[in-house]
């Protein structure tokens, strides 16, 4: 080593010290530096361990670093056990590395900072949850992880595919939407796709996912002031878990991030728009050609939800925006009128509604939606409502009642016809897919032949059509389609009028 002189600086001493190190000592120093970099940066951690468990060549698009920054920001408060500022919702297309970042790398990175943290990780199926859990555990079993973080070890008695933990009390527990979570609480509650696209059209599955979140998952927090809920998913329905949380929470308590495939859709926060290149979120993996192919395969509705992060279609809407006319009074003569009822027997709550759409057709062939009655009434109140509405409409307005399949549907329709004695009333036995049945009605809507009489029901009626069939309700669309079918005597519905 060079002897110290008055002219030697601290840098000189450091250089001399490094020069005297053995190769093994230098490697140990490099590992220590890398470990510290990983602790300080979740993004660096992901890049460091990607190749250890994932064979595909990574594409480090800007959104990955942004998501890592957001996740690290909420984690920093949990490390210090400070009250959280907000929960996080991320809406982003499939194939964007979201599950690897949130469900695989994130829980393990947390332990490099605090081995006592517990994570509850959920997906729409338990099989998928297990796959993600195994990948996360595999990180800890790599030689690189053991070398960089020798202090972070798996407990021998908590080392299962779906549930493993550290020697300092930390745990990662895998579950699924609707699954039971007995005796487990988390500092981080991570939901990675609570429903899949096939489940999104089922009101039963949607309700189950919301109820499970409210009554089970959201209650499993170590400390309600500190524990963070992170939801990352595609937008598949207007009544999905994203919308449910946005409706229930104060806006300041949710950080809502929406990253669609291209900039023709809504982006949140708006400041992210500057990262889009040629209008694309990820110009390497989601080129225009790739997106066009996805839209052809999925169709406009599923494409809008999965890639546009909107349950409402774009230009491919079944019912297009601004194609209807809203007026105060019809100048033409209306030659025929009908009130069509789509009945439901639920009173109050959030179940199916009864809807009665009054529609007329003019001499020139325009279809006028004159009035809409809707509500959740018990059967006796519903029948009274149908009778009073018929009396208000007058005998020149025919009444048609949708007959649901089965003997119960027949009895219900017959009871309504009896209730309407004195009026021209028919029952309409329907079968088949509601979206398919709505196509002829959408044709006249989209060509501008639909007129709405201006009233307070207009907005909800229009919104239900624009989001059909992924909106929270579809009863007005079904009733309007039934009225249109009757006025045109369209034989797309089985049965007689």
User: Which residue, 413, 418, 415, 414, is CA-closest to 403?
Assistant: 413
pLDDT value at position 6?
Answer: 52
Strands 450-453 and 367-375: parallel
Domain edges within the chain: 20-306, 325-488
Strands 154-159 and 163-166: antiparallel
pLDDT value at position 26?
Answer: 81
Residue 437 and residue 474: Cα distance in Å, rounded? 12
User: Which residue, 131, 68, 126, is CA-closest to 96?
Assistant: 68
Task: Bin 366: left if φ > 0, else alpha if -120 < ψ < 50, else beta.
Answer: beta
User: Which residue, 239, 241, 238, 286, is CA-closest to 259?
Assistant: 286
Q: Are 385 and 401 in contact (CB under 8 A)?
A: no
DSSP 394-422: -TTEEEEEEE-SHHHHHHHHHHHHHHTTT
Q: Are 78 and 117 in contact (CB under 8 A)?
A: yes
3-state secondary structure of 480: helix
> Partners of 371 in the beta sheet?
358
SS3 content of the chain, % helix, strand, coil (to 5): 45, 20, 40
Burial (CB count <10 Å: 0-12, 13-18, 19+), residue 228: buried
Largest CA distance in the chain: 115
> Would you identify the CATH topology of the domain 20-306?
Rossmann fold (3.40.50)
Radius of gyration of the chain (CA): 30
Output the CA–CA distances (angstroms, integers) from residue 134 to 128, 166, 190, in the order listed.
10, 15, 16
Handedness of CA 99, 103, 104, 110 (dihedral sign): positive
Strands 397-403 and 154-159: unpaired
pLDDT value at position 348?
Answer: 59
DSSP 137-163: HHHHTSHHHHHH-TT--EEEEEE-SSE
Peptide bond just before 469 cis, omega within 30 deg:
yes
User: Which residue, 111, 122, 30, is CA-closest to 78?
Assistant: 111
Residue spans of the chain under pLDDT 50: 1-4, 491-497
Q: Are 300 and 314 in contact (CB under 8 A)?
A: yes
User: Which residue, 343, 376, 377, 378, is CA-closest to 357?
Assistant: 343
Handedness of CA 89, 94, 96, 98 (dihedral sign): positive
Would you say domain 325-488 falls under CATH 3.30.420.240?
A: yes
What dihedral do alpha carbons 402, 405, 408, 411 form, nearest 10°?
A: 50
Residue 386 and residue 19: Cα distance in Å, rounded? 92
Output the CA–CA distances (angstroms, integers) from residue 91 to 68, 85, 266, 380, in the order listed.
15, 19, 11, 43
Helix (H) or strand (E) holding 194: none
Residue 168 and residue 166: Cα distance in Å, rounded? 5
CB under 8 Å to 52, separation ≥6 — which residues?
138, 139, 142, 144, 145
Residue 323 and residue 132: Cα distance in Å, rounded? 46
Q: Are 420 and 370 in contact (CB under 8 A)?
A: no
Residue 197 and residue 307: Cα distance in Å, rounded? 12
């Amino acid at each position: 080593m060079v002897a110290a002189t008055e002219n030697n600086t601290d840098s000189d001493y450091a250089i001399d010290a490094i020069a005297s190190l053995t190769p093994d000592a230098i490697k140990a120093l490099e590992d220590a530096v890398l470990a510290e970099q990983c602790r300080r940066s979740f993004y660096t951690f992901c890049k460091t361990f990607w190749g250890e468990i994932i064979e595909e060549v990574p594409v480090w698009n800007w959104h990955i670093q942004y998501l890592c920054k957001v996740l690290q920001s909420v984690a920093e408060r949990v490390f210090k056990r400070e009250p959280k500022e907000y929960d996080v919702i991320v809406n982003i297309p499939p194939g964007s590395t979201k599950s690897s970042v949130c469900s695989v790398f994130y829980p393990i990175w947390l332990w490099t900072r605090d081995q006592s943290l517990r994570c509850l990780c959920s997906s729409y199926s338990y099989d998928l949850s297990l796959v993600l859990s195994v990948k996360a555990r595999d990180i800890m079993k790599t030689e690189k992880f053991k070398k960089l973080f020798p202090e972070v070890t798996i407990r021998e008695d908590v080392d299962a595919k779906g549930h493993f933990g550290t020697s300092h009390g930390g745990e990662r527990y895998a579950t699924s939407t609707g699954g039971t979570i007995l005796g487990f609480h988390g500092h981080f509650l991570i939901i990675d796709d609570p429903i899949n696209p096939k489940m999104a059209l089922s009101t039963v599955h949607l309700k189950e996912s919301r109820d499970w979140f409210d009554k089970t998952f959201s209650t499993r927090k170590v400390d309600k002031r500190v524990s963070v809920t992170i939801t990352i998913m595609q937008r598949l329905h207007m009544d999905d878990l994203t919308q449910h949380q946005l409706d229930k929470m104060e806006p300041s308590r949710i950080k809502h991030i929406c990253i669609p495939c291209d900039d023709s859709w809504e982006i949140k926060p708006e400041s992210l728009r500057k990262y889009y290149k040629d209008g694309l979120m990820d110009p390497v993996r989601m080129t225009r050609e790739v997106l066009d192919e996805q839209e052809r395969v999925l169709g406009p509705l599923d494409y809008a939800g999965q890639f546009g992060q909107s349950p409402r279609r774009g230009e491919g809407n079944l019912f297009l925006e601004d194609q209807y006319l809203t007026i105060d009074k019809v100048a033409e003569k209306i030659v025929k009128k009908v009130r069509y009822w789509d009945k439901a027997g639920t009173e109050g709550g959030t179940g199916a509604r009864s809807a009665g759409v009054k529609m007329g057709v003019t001499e020139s062939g325009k279809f006028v939606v004159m009035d809409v009655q809707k509500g959740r009434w018990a059967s006796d109140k519903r029948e009274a409502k149908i009778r009073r509405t018929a009396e208000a409409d007058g005998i020149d307005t025919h009444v048609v009642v949708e007959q649901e399949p089965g003997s119960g549907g027949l009895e219900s329709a017959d009871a309504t016809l009896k209730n309407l004695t004195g009026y021209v009333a028919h029952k309409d036995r329907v079968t088949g897919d509601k979206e398919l049945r709505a196509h002829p009605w959408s044709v006249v809507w989209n060509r501008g032949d639909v007129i709405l009489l201006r009233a307070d029901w207009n907005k909800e009626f229009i919104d239900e059509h624009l989001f059909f069939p992924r909106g929270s309700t579809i009863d007005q669309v079904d009733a309007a389609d039934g009225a249109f079918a009757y006025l045109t005597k369209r034989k797309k519905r089985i049965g007689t009028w």
